[in-house]
Structure 1
Amino acid sequence: MGSFKGHIVPGTLFLVIGIWHIWCCVVRYVSNPKNFRVRVWNPVPGFGGRVKYLELYVIAVGAFIDLCIEFLYSTHVKIFVNGVLNPSHMNDFEHSGMLLMFFIFGIIELSKDKVSFLPLPEGALCFIVSAAFTAEYLLFYFHSTTHKGLEGYYHLILVLLIVLCIIATIAGALMPTSFPADLCSGISITLQGLWFYQTAFTLYGPMMPDGCRLKGNEISCGSTGHEVYGELLANFQLFVQVLVVLVGVTGAYIYMRSKNLVAQLL
């Protein structure tokens, strides 16, 4: 069982990184389509280069803070009980493992680009990111917390979006000049962030479907009909999110394309 904050925090990280990835991908392609290359992360321009690595700091620091929340705060530092991992907080330990993978990626990337300690090619970094998403996929697919009913359906959609992230990042490694692969990576990360938000507001917030409620640590629906209605509502919510993201991507491309054409004419 999760919580509102437990979905909002990672959702915010995925959403911010995903939108930034989409924007930078479109800008780089429109500016120079012939020399376009897939990038795992994108530097922030301006300010004399002082915020160049902001994306990597957001990934590393954000993952580390969330890791501390899951591993220390949520468990009340009761990590071991009778010499074994506290069985009451196995889901928190699993979340910590997922966040650790993204933290490691952020540190590896900073080591490569800022201090030139690990001179890895971009394709290898794509595989490292795909490994982090794979760890996330395994976490939610083989979760120690059994998701059933409506809650299980929302988490099933989340798992499918994580699979898209894995496929997109691997495609970026195999096709380093592919604009669609890089763009799909940003879109899938953005959709994952949005779905974390949707899950938080639906299952633990004010958007709970009629006939269903949060009781104790479980989502219960009054009848099969109410549960089916909730699942159909989830499908519609996902459709709206996909539509919004695609419209946003199209708008960003049209804007950058027109701006580039005006710059060429001048």
Structure 2
Amino acid sequence: MTLFLFLYALLARLLDAGDQDGGDEGGILPNGLAHLMGALAFSQELLLFHLHSTEHVGVEGHYHWLLQLVILVCVLCMLMELSWPRSFLVVFVRTLAITFQGVWLIQLGFLFVPFFAPKGCELTEGPHGRMVVCDSDDAIIRAKALATLQFSWYLAALVSSALLALAYVIRHYATARKYHTIDAVVEECGKQKKVHEQMLSSY
């Protein structure tokens, strides 16, 4: 998984270097290759977490299941970028998904800190290493509900922060530009030329 992510980052860097030198057509590698590599990297990550989650049940399995949803969004966005490489919405959602993936991995790490373990649950040594075990079914339900609430809170906070930052950037740094087609510019130049010739002929 790490190797695929490294290759994706390397390809993206090569594409950036090519775009700086020759624009869209002057890249070293085709744009779709980087998106395809990113989709493969996140697909492999999704597969690994899916297989890894079969060893975890209860609270850990719920955390991993929520993480797989975020990774799936990353995969879908990468595949959509193959068809719409310049879609701001797709890139924006993909960026949020990757960021949220990191946030949720940090939250998953807190699960294995005894102080942050859900009420009624504790860390114990299992056949596959340390795992979170709850005392009763009610404790498991409560821990899963808390994980779902945390997921929703983090998602809402991330989306709200991103939208506020985007609105701030658009308001303070975006400049209004008026674009005209070549035909309109040529037509306007022709009119000005005729007016100029008429003025000269009148003298």
TM normalised by structure 2 equals: 0.74
In the alignment, does 2:55 pair up with 1:146? yes
SS in 2 for 1:219: strand
Aligned to 1:198: 107
Deviations 1:162-194 (A, max 9, x none): 001101111112112322111110011111111
d(CA) in 2 for partners of 1:99 and 1:168? 19
1:257 to 2:160 alignment:
no
What's 1:186 paired with?
95
User: CA 1:144 to 1:219, structure 2 compared with 1: closer, same or farther past 3 Å?
Assistant: closer
Partners in 1 of 2:53 and 2:156 — Cα distance?
A: 33
> Which structure ranks higher in relative contact order (CA pairs < 8 Å, sequence separation ≥ 6)?
1
Shift of 1:147: 1.1
1:100 corresponding residue in structure 2: 3
- Tell me, yes or no, if the aligned pair for 2:122 and 2:132 is still in contact at 8 Å: yes
- Please provide the CA RMSD for this pair: 2.3
Structure 1 gaps, min length 5 = 1-97
Query: Quick one: distance in 1 between partners of 2:83 and 2:137?
Result: 45
Residue 211 of structure 1: which of 84, 98, 120 is its match?
120
Cα displacement (A) at 1:100: 1.4
How far 1:107 moved relative to its partner? 2.9
Residues 227, 152 of structure 1: CA spacing in aligned structure 2 closer, same or farther, 3 A cutoff? Answer: same
Percent of aligned pairs with the same amino acid: 28
Matched, 1:230 2:143: yes
| Structure 2 counterpart of 1:159, one-letter code | Q
Which consecutive residues of structure 2, in runs of 5 or more, have no partner in the other structure?
22-26, 178-203
- Answer 1 or 2: which has greater helix percent: 2
1:123 is matched with which residue? 32
CA shift digits 1:1-25 (9 cap, x unpaired): xxxxxxxxxxxxxxxxxxxxxxxxx
Could you tell me how far 1:120 is from its partner in structure 2?
1.8
Moved more, 247-256 or 235-244: 247-256
Whether the 8 Å CA contact 2:15–2:31 is kept in 1: the answer is no
After superposition, the C-alpha distances for 1:20-57 in whole angstroms (9 at most, x for unaligned) are: xxxxxxxxxxxxxxxxxxxxxxxxxxxxxxxxxxxxxx
Deviation at 1:130, TM superposition (A): 0.7
Quote the Cα distance in structure 2 between the aligned partners of 1:107 and 1:168.
19
Match of 1:242 in 2: 155
SS of 2:170 mapped into structure 1: helix
Shift of the 169–205 alpha-carbon distance from structure 1 to 2, 3 Å rule, reads farther
- Structure showing greater Rg: 2
TM-score, L = length of structure 1: 0.58
Counterpart residue number, 1:155: 64
Aligned length: 166
